[in-house]
């Protein structure tokens, strides 16, 4: 196993060999989970010697999984490494849970908890086949996930902002709760004007992620340290978009505090500008992609200026 480890006197790191080794260690761990679970599925209990052998095999399997994970250099991409680390952690935690379940379960029969825990280890081990194979694929996966979350947030807010709709209608149907005339439960016309500009920023977030994702798919490469680092920078800043969108959306519900809305809008606009700057300076943005970068930069500025204008009197 150690021959694949990078370092002096070792062979250079190769991703295909890493994936082969990781797949093998995950498969062995899955098999050891099955053996462990079956051994304690019914009486009689395994002998002390059998227990020692089972424990040793489980420990060796987990150590092999961890060892292979540590082969993966950070230079292959922090986005990729985090995904592999998360998958490895799930396997280790799954085996810990299975062991705890066996230790705490009666020996009379195979418990439901034991079945679930064993299945959990199998599922965690199977994840290796779905992991992205390089940092470009890892960043594509990250951006697609961010886009999905932002799309949902935009659709939810669009639905709530339908003209005449009460944003709290679904939880305030009971007449006893009432407050239909309460300012805290509806948007004024001034609110709606402000929020339309905020929606412009949220839609720009969706468009930004969509365009960056397409650019990474089309032009993204993980062949050099510089390319890998640029992709990681994009993933890191893109991960800030969704929380910023959520914070803005939450501040948009009544009662609207215009200053809070302006602050959250400014935070989101700043993140979007940063995403566009990083994308434009990276290898995923050749001259053919610069048009949408310029357009979206203008859209962010336009909507942020409108937010500032609508909240000017509140300063």
The domains of the chain, with CATH numbers, are 15-130 (1.20.1420.10), 135-166+175-314 (1.20.1410.10)
Query: DSSP label at 281?
Result: T
| Vertex 65 angle, CA 62 and 66, to 5° | 90
Percent of the chain with pLDDT over 90: 79
Which of these, 37, 32, 48, lies nearest to 111 by C-alpha position? 37
How far is it, in rounded angstroms, from Cα 264 to Cα 250?
9
**Does residue 4 surpass a pLDDT of 50?**
no
Phi, psi at 108, each rounded to 5°: -55, -40
Tell me what the mean pLDDT of segment 218-243 comes to.
98
Lowest mean pLDDT among 168-172, 216-220, 226-230, 249-253: 168-172
Residue where the block lists tokens 């694929």: 137
Are 245 and 200 contacting, i.e. CB atoms less than 8 angstroms apart? no
Residues ≥6 apart with Cβ < 8 Å to 168 = 185, 254
**Does residue 25 surpass a pLDDT of 90?**
yes
How far is it, in rounded angstroms, from Cα 6 to Cα 90?
25
- What pLDDT is attached to residue 105? 76
**Does residue 60 surpass a pLDDT of 80?**
yes
- What pLDDT is attached to residue 43? 82
Are 287 and 230 contacting, i.e. CB atoms less than 8 angstroms apart? no
| Banded model confidence at residue 52, pLDDT cuts 50, 70, 90 | very high
How far is it, in rounded angstroms, from Cα 261 to Cα 38?
57
Tell me what the mean pLDDT of segment 32-58 comes to.
93
Which of these, 208, 198, 202, lies nearest to 275 by C-alpha position? 208
Instruction: Look up the pTM and report it.
Output: 0.87
| Banded model confidence at residue 166, pLDDT cuts 50, 70, 90 | low
Mapped onto helix, strand or coil, the DSSP state of residue 13 is: coil
- What pLDDT is attached to residue 177? 47
Mean pLDDT score of the chain: 90
| Banded model confidence at residue 110, pLDDT cuts 50, 70, 90 | confident
**Does residue 77 surpass a pLDDT of 50?**
yes
How far is it, in rounded angstroms, from Cα 205 to Cα 242?
9
């Amino acid at each position: 196993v150690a021959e694949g480890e990078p370092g002096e006197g070792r062979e250079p790191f190769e991703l295909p060999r890493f994936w082969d080794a990781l797949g093998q260690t995950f498969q062995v761990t899955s098999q050891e989970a099955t053996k462990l679970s079956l051994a304690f599925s019914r009486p009689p209990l395994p002998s002390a010697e059998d227990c020692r052998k089972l424990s040793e095999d489980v420990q060796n399997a987990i150590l092999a999984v961890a060892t292979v994970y540590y082969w993966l250099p950070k230079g292959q991409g922090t986005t990729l490494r985090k995904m592999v680390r998360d998958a490895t952690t799930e396997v280790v935690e799954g085996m810990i849970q299975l062991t705890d379940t066996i230790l705490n379960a009666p020996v009379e029969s195979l418990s439901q908890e034991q079945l679930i825990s064993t299945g959990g280890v199998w599922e965690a081990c199977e994840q290796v086949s779905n992991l992205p194979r390089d940092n470009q694929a890892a960043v594509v996966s990250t951006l697609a996930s961010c886009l999905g979350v932002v799309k949902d947030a935009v659709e939810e807010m669009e639905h709530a902002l339908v003209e005449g709709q009460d944003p709290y209608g679904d939880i305030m149907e009971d007449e006893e709760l009432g407050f239909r005339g309460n300012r805290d439960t509806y948007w004024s016309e001034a609110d709606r004007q402000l929020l339309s500009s905020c929606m412009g920023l949220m839609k720009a977030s969706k468009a930004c992620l969509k365009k960056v994702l397409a650019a990474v798919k089309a032009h993204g490469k993980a062949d050099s340290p510089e390319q890998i680092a640029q992709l990681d920078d994009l993933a890191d800043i893109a991960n800030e978009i969704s929380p910023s969108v959520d914070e803005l959306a939450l501040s948009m519900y009544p009662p609207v505090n215009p200053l809070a809305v302006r602050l959250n809008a400014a935070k989101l606009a700043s993140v979007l500008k940063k995403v566009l700057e990083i994308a434009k300076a990276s290898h995923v943005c050749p001259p053919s992609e610069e048009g949408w970068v310029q357009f979206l930069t203008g859209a962010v500025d336009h909507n942020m200026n409108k937010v500032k204008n609508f909240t000017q009197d509140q300063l």
